[in-house]
Structures are given as C-alpha cells and as structure tokens.
Structure 1
C-alpha cells in the first residue's frame, strides 16, 4: 500500500472525501521491515495535513499539502538531537522480550508500578539475566494472565492467524478505524486563520506515551494552545523531550477536591479534549462521557486505547510494543527475517500513526462543528491501526535510509531544561500555514494548571 493509498483510506475513515489531489509525497527510501512502515508514516502524516487543509478550505482556498517520506519516518523514531548531552534511557532495564517454556512474551516495565506488578509474579530482579531465568519456567499464556491480573503489562507473541481467531482480534477487526459519535449543539465563534489554522483553540491533553502526545504536539504545531495534565509523581524521562514540544505541562490530583474544581474549570474552557485512559477510567473518577458533555457541551472529545473499545480486552493495559506482539506483527517480522526471536517494527509506528489519526479526527470534528454547529467524539485504538497495517501488502524491504545530516534539522537551537538541541525539520508542509511550535520541550509539571 502506498503512502497515498494509506492517506486516502484514512480520509475515508474520517468521513472526508478520499481524494488526495492536493497531496504530494516527496523523498525516497523506506524503513527496513516486513511491512510498509514508511508508507504508513507518510500516509498518516499526510492525512493529518489534509485535514488541516480541509479546515482552511472552510474559510478560503484549500491549500496544497506535501509530505517528505524520509522525514516522516525519522519523526517516527526521534525528532531530537542533543547538543553536548545525552538523551535519557528510553527503556527500563528489565523491559523486553523473554523466552518462556513454550514461546515468547514481552514485559513492559517502564512505569514503576508496572515493573512492580511483574515482579510480584516473577520476583524482584536486578537485571535481564535474572528476569530471563524467572520467565523461563513459565508457560507463556499463564505468565501473561498472571501479570495482567496483577495490573501489569505483558503480551504473548501470537501469529496473525492466531490473533484473527482470538476474540479480541475478531472484535478489533469489526471496529471502524475511527469511531465517531455525534455531539450536542455547540456555540462557538471560532474560525480558522489560514496562516495559523488552530490559533485560538484550547486543547486539554490527558495522554501519555506516545500516541496521544503525538496528536497534541501536531495540534500545537498549527497554533492550538495545548495544556497537558499529569498526576503527581508521573514522569516519562525517556520521551518528554520528544512529546512536550509546543505544550505547557501541569499536574493535578483528581482525588483532591481543589484539583477537581480546577480540572472542571479547565475542561469547561477547552475546545478539544484528547485522552488516553483505558475505557471507564474517567468514569470511575466521575468524568464519564455524560459528565464531560455536561461540563462542556461544545467539547470535541477524542480518545484512544490500546486494544480496542469492544471485546474481552477492551480494558486491558497496553502499549505499542505489546500490541505488536499480540496481533502478529512481531511474529511476522521474525519469519520475514528468519530470526530466532521476535522482530518488531523498526519504530513504534502504531503509536505515531495513531497519533496523527487522532489529530486528524479532532480536526475533522472541528470542521464539522463549523459546518453544522454540533460537537462530537471520536475513538481510536492502537490495535485497530495495527489492523490497517496488517491489511496492507507486505513489502519486505531491507533498504535503509541514509544517515541523518545537518540538513535534516532546523537551523535554530531549541533551549530545553535538559540542554540545547536541534529539532528535525517538520515532515509536513501545508501551503501558507507552516508548522511552528512556540514553546520548547519542557519537563512534566513545569506549569500552572491554567489557560493563558
């Protein structure tokens, strides 16, 4: 499947005209994978860019859109080059793939409470060697079930065929790529400015690694005011430099009355809410869909989860690397490379692609609100994005991009709390509306929980 076809498929799922006449894809090369990862990267970025173009088209001419497939692929890996310092380590020391008695399992232990859950089952481990020895005595399905029951994150490596026959795989396959729900009548005097299409919009960001932050970073790049809210103590040291670009970041504890009052005021003032909590998590806090609509009737409400919104795993904790194991991507990569262990995608493409789909869905709902005066909601999942990739023809490319050069980066220096850095040039160009972030990356919890 080409980048243009991915873009057209996504646009059809958004309810937009699938045509991509305004789109130009440039650049050469592809990420080495059994799957067309570079085409997914360029196509998802393009779909978000075309959504911006459609929005601008409501107040004037629809601008042309171009995407550089090489830069899109690089952004799916990292957008950041430190100057004189090193990025934090991305993975916890015991996170990764392990061989059980009857196959492979992946443990996701980046969050301290997820590691603690795995170690309640396997015992405290100082390193991968100790964890490997502990895992080796288990059957894979028993271990997956035990860790999930403890509130941890684990995924057995399944084949595409096994996943298709699994109740959750079947449920995800029956879901739309983007599920829309109609909203109430919404009063808003906001209109897009062609040069800065999302200026004047407020986006409340309740997301964590990585898909949701990709979406809100994109919205910030076109002028939206993005305020990210995290609970006390939550940190993402390996990805904050990548995912907080253009945003302000605050903390609230929704178990405290004062913080709940502040959150409700923020929600009332928001145009868009993007959240990545598991299904019913906000309900348990008293902020289910009906409560959100009551607080903000005109709210555009966009949400994601890992394993889909229906089926027995709808509430399961998950991340990109786990979904790749569950749905057959890692097993297909192993077979393609004739390897002795799982071979995932070369980047966390499910996260990044879903992020651009989330942004496109939010912009599509904005466009609808301008046309018919009604708000709305959209739901997406990593597992359903994985289905989009699995349905594409497998390219089996071993070609690699040329290494990054100085020409790939903006000329300016980004001053961050960690140190100075260069940022990759954006992979997307919308004529007359350049991508531009007004704030550098920052640490979580830096700012006050308030709109400017």
Structure 2
C-alpha cells in the first residue's frame, strides 16, 4: 500500500469511518520531498482524511457519497505555505536564537519565537538572547539537563534523541499507547440548526478557534474553505506576523483575555452559539480557566470539541509546552534524518509536517463530529503532534527525492487575494470533494483585527 493510502486508511479507522469510503478516494500528481521520511505520503494522506470526513458529512445528510481526489504535489506545497506575496515579503517566522545547539553530550533545540520563552532560555543560560552567546553557554551543559532547566523556567526546549531512546522514554511509551485520534462519545445535544448544502457544506456552521502555531490554524483554514464561519480568538499581545498571512485565510480574528471578567462573558456568549470548538491549549490549561470539556458542552450543548496538543494526553510531558520542531527533535526524527544523510548535526523534516498533518486530521475530526451530530451522536476528540510523529515514523524510511520545484503558474489559483499586507496569489486547493469545491470568502487578515463577535 502506498504511504498516502496507508495514512488515509489509518486516520480514517481512528476516526471511526466506514472502510468502504476509500472506494471513492484517488490520488494524482507526484511528490518528491528531500527527506528520509515519507513526508509526501503523510501530506497527501492527511489531506485525504479530511476529504473523506467531508464526504461522510455529506452522505450523513442524505446525499450520495462524493468522490475525493488529492493532488500529491499541491498537498506537499500547502505543507510549506499557501500564499505567494506579490511585491512584499512575509516577515521572519522565527527569532535568530531559535536553532539547534551543540551541548556537551549531544544536541538541543531551543524554541524562542515567543518573547517569554526566549527570556526563559536567557535566564537559564545566563546569556543575552543572541545566537553566539547562547551557543557558548549551551556548550557547557548536558543536553537533557538543559532541556529540564529551560522547561522548568517556563521555556521550550528538546534534546535530540534517537527513536529507540524515545520509545524507552516515559513520554514516548505514553504516546505509543494513545490512539492517533481519541474520539469519545458525548451527549449529542439538540438537533443542529444548520443544514448541509452540497456546494457549501459548512455554511451556517460556527467554529470557535482557540489555536495558535500551527496545527489548529491549518485545521480551521480548511473548514473556512467549505463555508464555516471561523472566529479565531487570541490573547492580548500574541502575534504570529510570519504566519498570519498564510493561516488566517477565510477567518475573522479577535482578541480576548479569558482571565478578565468581561472578556470571559463575551467568550461564553460566543461559545453558546458555536458548533465546533478547536482548542490548542496544553492539557489542563483550559480546565484551569473553567473551560474543560464538560463545562464547554454545558455552555454549548452538542458542541463538537476538538483538542490538540504537542506531547500527548498522558505521561509526564502531557502538560509541557511544545511545537513541531521540538517533537521532531525528541521523538527521533531529527536523529534519523541526520543518520540517513551521514551528518552529525540534527536534520529536521523539510517542512513542519507534524503541524500540518495534525491540522488536517483535526479538521477531519471536526467534520466527523458534525456528521455524528447529524446522526444523533455527540463527539469530543483529542489529537497530538507526538501521535502524528509516530504515524510518520511507522511509514518506514524512504529514498529522499530531489525536492519539490517551486510553485509555478499552473499551481496557483487565478484570482488575486487583496490582503492588508498587499496583493498575493494562493496555491490551488490540494483537495477536491465532488460538488463541494474549496473557496475562501475572506482574505487573510492580522490577528486581533476584528471584534469578538459572530459575523
């Protein structure tokens, strides 16, 4: 079985989908990531899982199950960025201190995009937040000791481990015991107020997006493409300048402080009218604010509650801050890549594939939840980057390809997108569900640029 079909099959089984749904699934085009891992297969297969989930929603509403077609090249390109600026450039997505450093006994990655995480690393190292100063300080540390110290200080770091070491690590063992997608039964609530029009199947569906870099925003971008009303909520001061033009497509973006009474009241009013909640906070973080799964469903009966995190939902690292690059480092991906390439330094995947794939799987989970609600069932779902890393590693090694050619005119949608940053072109959608084309009605927009209100 090809890697993309293997991914689609495993994901669809984890989502509780009917096995015969694959009969209407097809792939075309060529992928050629320069990687020892089957990143092309992960990209095309996770995109396919979302397509199968939409087809299931349409069939749950009485329509014939439509065909689902995935373009391997476009799926891979969307795993990079979907937007090509015209006459302007995307800001850098990372700080210069975010890199791999050689420690006394191995390698460690410091994730320093957020100012608070950068400050935590600087405090531990006793060095100014500059690459050279960090490198000199890291050299005197054991990689795992520095990992612990940075995390305990409120920062983000991961020592490089082999896959074998990860599978023996308490967190690696915990993730190995978790499903790719945990899909739980819940009270279905009242019958949904929305229909599922074939051409715009998510029209009337309200999606409350409490996610940040990067998996959750990928999921809600896809849902917006089928007509969902997506409202993204960020805390005051949070910015993603290098990512917002790519991932806010089709959405409205507002700010709320969920520790402040008036904003909490606004959030609860929004939640009461939401059909789907996507939450990318660490396990326990929303519960501490009073918005655990049960409370959210009490405020919004029938809510499809989809939650995703970095390290999994059990084990000693379940509450740890994490990002795609850190999971790659800890789970053996970077070590295996380096070994396959015959180099000493860590070799990451050519794109943030764990984020993007988890995003498409989260979108699939949301769509499955909507289909189950049509059928009178309730749903809560949990996913993690670490489980997606296990999925990728399980595909086995591949011979690295030459790399993808840059996007050409044939890869681009014809329309110009007029954003506040400037004009841009988008890649053509990588996924075609028969009769339900992806189309985004709003251009990308900055975080916090809209009021916290449904449209």
TM-score w.r.t. length of structure 2: 0.98
Equivalent residue number for residue 36 of structure 1: 38
Q: Quick one: distance in 2 between partners of 1:359 and 1:14?
A: 11
Cα offset for 1:126?
4.6
| Superposition pairs of residues 265-284 of structure 1, within 5 angstroms | 265-284=269-288
What's 2:387 paired with? 384
Match of 1:149 in 2: 152
Which secondary structure state, in structure 2, belongs to the residue aligned with residue 451 of structure 1?
Answer: coil
Between the aligned partners of 2:360 and 2:250, the Cα distance in structure 1 is: 16
Q: How far has the Cα of 1:443 moved from its partner?
A: 0.2
Match of 1:9 in 2: 10
Query: Aligned pair 1:116/2:133, yes or no?
Result: no
Cα drift, residue 301 of structure 1: 0.2
CA contact (8 A) 2:209 2:232 kept: yes
Residues 1:210 and 2:214 aligned together:
yes
Q: Partners in 1 of 2:292 and 2:408 — Cα distance?
A: 47
Unaligned runs of 5+ in 2: none
Distance 2:210 2:59 in 1: 29
Q: Report SS of the residue matched to 2:147.
A: helix
State the match for 2:293 in structure 1.
Answer: 289
TM-score, normalised relative to structure 1? 0.98
Aligned residue runs from structure 1 range 90-239, under 5 A: 90-187=93-190, 188-239=192-243
Q: How far apart, in 2, do the equivalents of 1:433 and 1:11 lie?
A: 20
Q: Distance in 2 between matches of 1:260 and 1:137?
A: 45
Partner of 1:26: 28
Asked if 1 retains the 8 angstrom alpha-carbon contact of 2:200 and 2:227, the reply is yes
The equivalent of 1:375 in structure 2 is 378
Partners of 1:406 and 1:22 in 2: how far apart?
Answer: 29
Q: Is the 8 A contact 2:324 2:354 kept in 1?
A: yes
Deviations 1:186-212 (A, max 9, x none): 112323111111111000000001000
Q: Which runs of 4+ in 1 moved over 4 A?
A: none
Distance 2:165 2:440 in 1: 43
Would you say how many aligned residue pairs link Structure 1 and Structure 2?
451
Per mean C-alpha deviation after superposition, the further-off stretch among 226-235 and 55-64 is 55-64
The question of whether the paired residues in 2 share the 8 Å contact of 1:194 and 1:433 is answered with: yes
- Using the alignment, how far apart are the partners of 2:405 and 2:301 within structure 1? 49
Q: Tell me the residue number matched to 2:352.
A: 348
Report if the CA contact (8 A) 1:297-1:375 is conserved: no
Q: Distance in 1 between matches of 2:343 and 2:420?
A: 41
Shift of 1:223: 0.6
Which 5+ residue runs of structure 1 have no aligned equivalent?
none
CA contact (8 A) 2:121 2:155 kept: yes
Deviations for 1:294-324, whole angstroms, at most 9, x for unmatched residues? 1112110000000000001100100000000
- 1:375: Cα distance to partner? 2.0
After TM superposition, the structure 1 = structure 2 runs for residues 298-337 of structure 1, keeping only pairs within 5 Å, are: 298-337=302-341
Give a deviation string over 1:370-422, Cα, whole Å, max 9, x none. 11x23220000000010001111211323322232112111111111111111
Deviation at 1:178, TM superposition (A): 0.6
Q: Which region of structure 1 is more displaced relative to structure 2, 293-302 or 156-165?
A: 293-302
1:69-84 correspondence runs (5 A): 69-84=72-87
Superposed displacement of residue 180, structure 1: 1.5
Aligned to 2:362: 358
Q: 1:449 aligns to what?
A: 452
CA drift at 1:125 = 2.4
> 2: distance between equivalents of 1:332 and 1:359?
29
